[in-house]
Amino acid sequence: MFHSIGRYAIDRQKLTQLLAQVKAEQTTIEEALESLSQLPFQDLGFAKVDHHRALRKGFPEVILGEGKTPEQIADIAQAIENDGSSLLITRIDASAYETLKAKVPDTVYNATARIAYLQRDPVALKPGVTVACAGTSDIPVAEEAAITAELVGSQVERVYDTGVAGLHRLLSALPKLRSARVVVVVAGMDGALPSVVGGLVAVPVIAVPTSIGYGASFQGLSALLAMLASCAPGVTVVNIDNGFGAGYQAAMINRGLADPPTSPTP
C-alpha cells in the first residue's frame, strides 16, 4: 500500500517553526541561517542534493541509481532522509540496495522494478491511473511506472500481458482502462499496443517503448518510432524503458484532474 507525500506542507511547516523559534529567541539568527543554508541544496562534493525540489514540484528529488556507486547512492539517500523527505531511487540493483539499507534502514526494495523507496507522512491515494503492458517481459518497466505513480500519490490499477497478439485479453480489461483518468501503456516488439488503447479510451495515453524484442527491434527503437508515429490522438511517448518518467507524468496529470471522463461506447 502506498501513500502520497504532503512535502510542500512539511517544508512550509519547518520554515514557520524556524521563524517562530527565532522570534521566541529559542534559536539564534546564526543557527537559523545555518539551517536555511541547507534548504536550497546540500553539497556532498560529488553531488548537490536539491532540498527545495518538493517545494517546486510537490515531490522530493529522485535518485537515479544507474551509473552511481553504491556508496554515492547511499550518501545521497541519507542526505535526503536526514532532511525529513521521502525517498525514491530508481535503477538500483540488489547489491547497491544492501549498501543503502546499512545507512537508511527503513528503505524498501522492489526487485522487479529495481526501485528502493522510503515514505513519510502518508495521505490517501487518488484513484485514476491504470498501467497496462503488452507482455510479461515488459512488467519490470511497467512496475517502475506503477510504483512511481503510487509514490507520487496515485492509486494504480495494473493490466498486464494484454498485447495485440491476443486482443481478447485487452478487451477483457476495457472497464479498468476506461475508468482511468490517464493510462500508461508499456510495450516492446512492434510497439502497437498504445495505438490500440488510444483508440479505445477518452483519456491521455502515455506510451512507454521497451527494449524487449528480437534483432530488428533495435533495443526498443522500433517500438519508439512506432509509438511516435501513432495515428491515435491523445498518445504521448516517453523514452525507451522510461517507466519512471511515464509514472511520474501520469501522477501529475491525475493530480490536476477532478472527475474522470466518461469514454464513449465504440
pTM tops 0.85: no
Sorted by sequence, the CB contacts under 8 Å of residue 95 that are 6+ apart come out as: 70
Domain ranges of the chain: 4-118, 125-255
Give strand pairing partners of 44.
none
What gap in Å lies between CA 114 and CA 183, rounded to an integer? Answer: 22
Q: What is the CATH number of domain 125-255?
A: 3.40.50.1970
- Which DSSP string corresponds to 200-214? T-SS-EEEEE-S-SS
pLDDT of residue 1: 44
pLDDT tens track, the chain, 266 positions: 444 333 344 456 677 788 888 889 888 888 877 766 556 777 788 888 887 787 777 788 899 999 999 999 999 999 888 877 789 999 999 999 999 999 999 999 999 999 999 987 666 789 999 999 999 999 999 999 999 999 998 999 999 999 888 888 888 889 999 999 999 999 999 999 999 999 999 999 999 999 999 999 999 999 999 999 999 999 999 999 999 999 999 999 998 866 545 554 44
The C-alpha cell 522494478 sits at 113
Of residues 30, 12, 25, the one with CA closest to residue 84:
12
| Spatial contact of 208 and 178, defined as CB atoms under 8 Å apart | no
